Amino acid sequence: MIVCKFGGTSVADAAAITRVIDIVTARQASTPVVVVSALGGATNQLLDLAHKAAAGELLGAVQIIEQLRDRHLTVAAALLGDSAEGHELAVEIGGAFDELAHLAEAFRTLGYLTPRSLDAVAAMGEILSSQIVAAAFRRRGVDAPWVDARDVIVTNDVFTRAEPDAEGIAAACRARLLPHVQAGRIPVLGGFVGATPQRITTTLGRGGSDYSASLVGAALDATAIEIWTDVDGMLTADPRVIPNARLIERIGFEEAAELAAFGAKVLHPATIAPAVQRGIPVYVFNSRNPGGTGTMIAFDAPRFPVRAIAGKRNTTLVKLRSTRMLLAPGFLRRVFEVFERHRTSVDVVTTSEVSVSVTLDDEAQLGAILQDLADFGDVAVNRRAGVLAIVGAGIADSSAAIGRAISALGDIPVHMASLSATGINFTLVIDDEHVVPAMQRLHGAFFEQAVPAA
């Protein structure tokens, strides 16, 4: 059994969905389960219209609803033609957007949104796309039942970033997916979406369809988890920043997880953990170039000092300086309890005798955090910071790679530097505006002949 997950661009229109069907049917012997994202860009539009409605811009919200309705109907019609199933699906799609229009009115009246209501809206993208894809398979003669992800991905109720319940998911996968797989059918479900045990809709956080795929793969002990996207695999850097980034044919689980956590959007950061637990290889392939070699992510991979770099912008750096500092037992614990209390995870940490520096991705609770930290000492904040991750299993084998990284940065000031305990990630915190030039210089130093001029 394998899991094949297709991202937004891979299901963006009828032609893309046709490619998906070709890719999956060519793998029929491996008994695939298919996980799909929303049609490319649909999640952003759904969230956007909810925010517009709550801000009183009902007209703008309705315009987006009508655009999305048209797009879904057009894609479904192109794939299903004038068939009975095409008509049924059109009615389903129409009903979903009518309901969305009612919701938008309710948001306008209320004047606010809750994380729970945002999840109900965002989930519609995957619920509809997966129904369209399943019906398109059937139209091509493939027995592909639609499975509602809310019956499979059991989560807690931390809306907009719900955490999965692995045991609940395993039981649901055995009950809802396995019988189809065993009967030679190809079940299709939406990624990103889940539900609480009370069946209230949740989502796993942006980009979460990759995570859905690896949760299903782990639950069913798949032989492979395939992430089909719009690039040839994991590359030595984000190709939008470094156009000549190179394909990595094989990379270790830990390296891939570090890259994902530090900005390589090609994989949702949580994707690797379920795969590692079961030792299931994760592949990244390009749905526009299905013959490509792609990337294999597994335990054993060639050991390089630096395998890839990643960068993350829009990070917040918080520096706490205190004279009652580190040697006092329990001091750091109390500092970190502040972040825990405000449900904010900390990314990079460095400490000195009199200071602690941390970076945060999520600024939502920043005000409350700063207030609490002020009890410990002086607090300074840089809300325009960025993080660079230089990742390689052998980065700590000598100091050469780290020396090369630092010298490549030249005159770019560094606010924090840290080597992970696993010795595979050398992380630097710099100013947000320097992230792109820093990545160019680092990529030049490690993967190109000459360091580009600054």
DSSP symbols for 11-62: GSSHHHHHHHHHHHHTTGGG-EEEEE--STTHHHHHHHHHHHHHTT-HHHHH
- Give the closest residue to 297 by CA, choosing from 312, 310, 307: 307
Window 30-49: residues binding ligand ADP (CB under 6 A): 37
Q: Does 71 bind ligand ASP (CB under 6 A)?
A: no
Site string for ligand ADP, 257-296 (x = CB under 6 A): --x----xxx------------------------------
Query: How many angstroms separate the CA atoms of 30 and 65, rounded?
Result: 38
**Coil, strand or helix at 404:** helix
Answer with the entry of ligand ADP, ligand ASP, Mg ion, none that 206 interacts with (C-beta below 5 to 8 A by kind): ligand ASP
Site string for ligand ASP, 329-348 (x = CB under 6 A): --------------------
* β-bridge partners, 201: 195
Q: Does 252 bind Mg ion (CB under 5 A)?
A: no
Site string for ligand ADP, 301-340 (x = CB under 6 A): -------x--------------------------------
Answer with the entry of Mg ion, ligand ADP, ligand ASP, none that 377 interacts with (C-beta below 5 to 8 A by kind): none
- Give the closest residue to 132 by CA, choosing from 202, 189, 192: 189
Q: Does 207 bind ligand ASP (CB under 6 A)?
A: yes
Helices 331-341 and 366-373 pack at an angle, to 10 degrees, of 160
Query: Cα 328 to the chain's mean position, in Å?
Result: 39
Span interacting with ligand ADP, options 74-82, 232-240, 366-374, 391-399, rule CB under 6 A: 232-240
Of 190, 191, 207, 208, the one binding Mg ion (CB under 5 A) is: 207
Our CB check for ligand ASP shows the closer of 146 and 192 to be 192
* β-bridge partners, 188: 34, 146
Q: Answer for the pair 239, 292: CB distance below 8 angstroms, yes or no.
A: no
Helices 115-139 and 84-110 pack at an angle, to 10 degrees, of 170
Query: Cα 88 to the chain's mean position, in Å?
Result: 32
Site string for ligand ASP, 296-335 (x = CB under 6 A): ----------------------------------------
Q: Does 230 bind ligand ADP (CB under 6 A)?
A: yes
Q: Does 229 bind ligand ADP (CB under 6 A)?
A: yes
Residue number of the CB atom closest to ligand ASP: 209
Q: What is the dihedral of CA 294, 181, 171, 156, to 10 degrees?
A: 50
Of 9, 10, 31, 37, the one binding ligand ASP (CB under 6 A) is: 37
For residue 89, give every residue at least 6 positions away whose Cβ sits within 8 Å of its Cβ, in sequence order, or none. Answer: 76, 80, 131, 132, 135
Shortest CB 210 distance to ligand ASP, Å: 6
Q: Does 237 bind ligand ADP (CB under 6 A)?
A: yes
Of 86, 125, 233, 274, the one binding ligand ASP (CB under 6 A) is: 125
Our CB check for ligand ADP shows the closer of 37 and 214 to be 37
Query: How many angstroms separate the CA atoms of 152 and 171, rounded?
Result: 8
Our CB check for ligand ASP shows the closer of 115 and 437 to be 115
Q: Please give the C-alpha separations between residue 158 and each of 131, 192, 194, 451, in angstroms, as whole numbers.
A: 26, 14, 11, 45
- Give the closest residue to 263 by CA, choosing from 427, 63, 451: 427
Task: Give the binding-site size for ligand ASP (rule: CB under 6 A).
Answer: 12
Shortest CB 191 distance to ligand ASP, Å: 5
Q: Does 425 bind ligand ADP (CB under 6 A)?
A: no
* β-bridge partners, 295: 284
- Give the closest residue to 285 by CA, choosing from 24, 18, 14: 24
Answer with the entry of ligand ASP, ligand ADP, Mg ion, none that 9 interacts with (C-beta below 5 to 8 A by kind): ligand ADP
Residue number of the CB atom closest to ligand ADP: 7
Which residues form the interface with Mg ion (CB under 5 A)?
Answer: 7, 207
Which residues form the interface with ligand ASP (CB under 6 A)?
Answer: 7-8, 37-38, 43, 125, 191-192, 206-209
Which residues form the interface with ligand ADP (CB under 6 A)?
Answer: 7-10, 37, 207, 229-231, 234-235, 237-240, 259, 264-266, 308
